[in-house]
Structure 1
Amino acid sequence: MPGGYSKKLALRLDAQQYAAYEGTPPTRPEWTAARAALIALSAALVAMVAGLAVLGGWLTLRDFPSFSILAGVPVLLVAWALRPRLNPEREAWHEIRRDNAPTLFALLDRIASAADAPMPHRVALDPEFNASAEICGLRRRRTMTIGLSMFGVIAPRQRVELLSHEFGHFVNGDPARGLLTQPALRTPLILADLMRPAGSIGTEGPLMQITSLLMRPFQLLLVRLFWLMALGVRAVAARDHQRAEYCADALAVRLAGTDAVVAGMVDSAVTERLVAAIAAAERGTQSNPETARRNHPGAARWREAADAVRATLNMDEELDKSVTEDASLWNSHPPSGLRARIAQSWPHTDPSVVLSDTDSAEIDAELHRFYARAGRDIAWSAA
């Protein structure tokens, strides 16, 4: 799809979705044709894989042992490669526990109770300017990941907003976290990977080399077709993902207040500038080995650098710019400008969960050694 047309279509779809929620906060993403199509495609793909498994088993075991095993085993291998996969539980940069961060977990408890949401099974930390909530594995374990470079530079009210938004993903029916939509989202990428030609054909015999060369154009064509299919599925899913984001924002407004959500969207619109400022501040810290090793300032210098960037911003201008620049058929998040504007269109709300400056400082103290460790990653990754 030409870039100009896809951008115009994304802007039109963004505007339609904005109009659907303007003035009235959503509570939970409704069932849509897109979600029904994803589930139907997933069902068809699972049925196809099951059929391949049955066919492969029949060919392998029929009159065993027989020559039909030469067809049966490859079919079984294809079925195994295409088997439905659950979102795996990834290794965390650091998993933090209640006993070494009691104030942070007390805040999580308060937000979970106010949101009527389950607590995560794992709370993880990483150095990123981001936060995420995932449901992983067959046991559907919930993981919340807090990016320290983001969490360290936001005000207490925005910390409540950030965590409230992530809790929203545990209760709002986001298809990205749904069991029934995973095959549709993952299988085309698996097929593209299976069809990808080998990187080198220099070690085979002459006949295999000729065969590989003849097959290569067809493989490349199939790879592109499956990638296009994956992009199409992602575009269909993106609208539902974005609805889920608006629902999570609505919960954040209810718990943290309108002003905190708008401030968070401004930060989101200028993420690259904030990350660059934080990295520059951390490189200054790392340039003094004694400070970096023994007297790391934690997030204090990051916050000063981020506040210096914020002081130069025209908030309305940045939000308006993001409406156009962040519009995409494949983005899982609506543009930050639209998210801020729609929050402002809802009835203005004061926070119902308040994090005091004292408790916020106590959380920083609990996370201090992780800020220091993350600082090294931040400085190196931006070098």
Structure 2
Amino acid sequence: MLDTVDRRVQPCPECGTEIRTDPRFVVWCAACDWNMDPGEPEETPGRLERLQRRLARQHGEKLLAEVTAGVTLRPRRDGASVLAYTIALAVHGVTAALVVTGILLVVLGWGSALPLLGAVLLGIAWPLRPRFQQLPDDVPVLYRADAPELFRLIAEVAEAVGTAGVHAVVVTVDVNASVSTYGLRQRRRLEIGLGLWEILTPQQRIALLGHELGHYANGDTRHGLIIANALRSLTTWRYLLNRIPQPTLGEVALNALYLLPRCAVLGVLMLLDHLTFRATQRGEYLADSFAARAGSTEAAVGLLDRLLVGDSATSALLREANTKQVARAGNPAREEAWRGLWKRLAAHMDSLPQSEYERQRRCSALRGHGVDTTHPPTHLRRACLLTGAPTAAEVVAAPERQAALDAELAKARETLAREILNGI
């Protein structure tokens, strides 16, 4: 259902400035920032999280200074990247050593306690093993034969940003999009969340594809198979060696035994974070530049603005689901509520006042890298896009193409709308 907007006027309790309120959103004052960010205070971050935020802030501010000074960001491999790969390979070498040693002890140690020790080593190595993502089986997955026009569009955008297309498109309900690889052959997959896709203009969708495919083009190291699995292995080691709270007498000795290995793991994890953070931040700015190249600077900025208010889209979908659940059974409107869900979502997002966009921009500047250390704050990414002359689109959203794309995504739209509203 469409939102009924009831805007009112009230004075700011802090400075007295007149505030035009919308009951659907946070009431705040643009003059003095009263109630701008009323969310719950976040938990005190740990040592690693504090380091990550400090590194993210330092690298983000340095990259922004480079961009605003006219320095063109380009993908690059430097000494830090080489060292990061070396450390990651060493981490995987430890896992391989555990596997080999465990197998040898099990095979050659019969008649003693060695096979038991080997089984323990293999048990430790199992959660440390490299992971290969697979395609999900609970959401729609499209291949070229299912959506030829969509794959042609992806190929055009990929060519514009200097990379190849994808092998599969996963469609979800999320207000997000991402790229990754799957399987032993490391085929490319693009994940499109309809919660985001449906609230974008056709040209902003092209910018979205440009951003995501741009991650392939710039060769992000942190999300690659080798380093990503090394970070996962180190995080697992950190969990296995974590200090036992309120220990018994025997656990005190175990905590003491774990102290040096735990410090070593934490140190390596911090070092790998330090070596890859700058590349990760650079990768996001580069992906934004690819979004502007593919869809235009205007579309890329519009995409960031939509991402900025993405929580409103998530809340709208939750309201739709809750409204459906409380409707009386047997009501025809309840059974057909999935029809028009995505249009209602787009209409809701189009009704957002500009004051909500501005509030979210100020919140982004206030929070900085506190929420997400791997992505620069949205206000910095937006500032980078607006630096210099606007970029024209290399791929234009032709009206006749939109009908074909809508037809190819129709079944996925219906499936996911039914899932949200009917639980099937």
Q: What TM-score results when the alignment is normalised by the length of structure 1?
A: 0.81
Q: Which residue of 2 aligns with 1:201?
A: none
Question: Residues 285 and 46 of structure 1: is their aligned pair in 2 closer, same or farther, counting only changes over 3 Å?
Answer: closer
Question: Residues 291 and 107 of structure 1: is their aligned pair in 2 closer, same or farther, counting only changes over 3 Å?
Answer: farther
Identity value in percent:
26
Q: Which residue of 1 aligns with 2:294?
A: 255
Choose from 61, 73, 81 the match for 1:26: 73
**Cα distance between partner residues in 2 of 1:380 and 1:327:** 38
**Cα distance between partner residues in 1 of 2:48 and 2:167:** 43
Q: Which residue of 1 aligns with 2:387?
A: 345
Matched, 1:239 2:278: yes
Output the amino acid matched with 1:13. H
Conservation of the 8 A alpha-carbon contact between 1:298 and 1:368: no
Q: Name the structure with the higher helix share.
A: 1
Runs of 4+ residues over 6 Å off in structure 1: 2-6, 209-212, 219-224
Conservation of the 8 A alpha-carbon contact between 1:86 and 1:182: no
Matched, 1:270 2:309: yes
Deviation at 1:249, TM superposition (A): 1.2
Task: Determine helix, strand or coil for the equivalent of 1:280.
Answer: helix
**Cα distance between partner residues in 2 of 1:219 and 1:147:** 46
**Cα distance between partner residues in 1 of 2:371 and 2:277:** 7
User: Is there any run of 5+ residues in structure 1 with no aligned partner, and where?
Assistant: 199-208
Further displaced range: 90-99 or 155-164: 90-99
By relative contact order (CA 8 Å, sep 6+), the higher-ranking structure is: 1
Matched, 1:97 2:143: yes
Conservation of the 8 A alpha-carbon contact between 1:282 and 1:302: no
Conservation of the 8 A alpha-carbon contact between 1:38 and 1:184: no
User: Is there any run of 5+ residues in structure 2 with no aligned partner, and where?
Assistant: 1-46
**Cα distance between partner residues in 1 of 2:296 and 2:397:** 12
Task: Determine helix, strand or coil for the equivalent of 1:98.
Answer: coil
Alignment of 1:54-203 (within 5 A): 54-62=100-108, 64-83=110-129, 85-92=130-137, 93-195=139-241
Output the amino acid matched with 1:187. S
Matched, 1:302 2:360: no
**Cα distance between partner residues in 1 of 2:242 and 2:135:** 25
Conservation of the 8 A alpha-carbon contact between 2:178 and 2:192: yes
Conservation of the 8 A alpha-carbon contact between 1:285 and 1:291: no
Output the amino acid matched with 1:260. A
Matched, 1:324 2:366: yes
Matched, 1:375 2:417: yes
Count of aligned positions: 369
Choose from 62, 66, 80 the match for 1:16: 62
Question: Residues 6 and 240 of structure 1: is their aligned pair in 2 closer, same or farther, counting only changes over 3 Å?
Answer: closer
Output the amino acid matched with 2:169. V
Q: What TM-score results when the alignment is normalised by the length of structure 2?
A: 0.74
**Cα distance between partner residues in 2 of 1:272 and 1:222:** 42
**Cα distance between partner residues in 1 of 2:261 and 2:349:** 43
Deviation at 1:105, TM superposition (A): 2.5
Output the amino acid matched with 1:339. R
Conservation of the 8 A alpha-carbon contact between 1:280 and 1:379: no
Conservation of the 8 A alpha-carbon contact between 1:157 and 1:260: yes
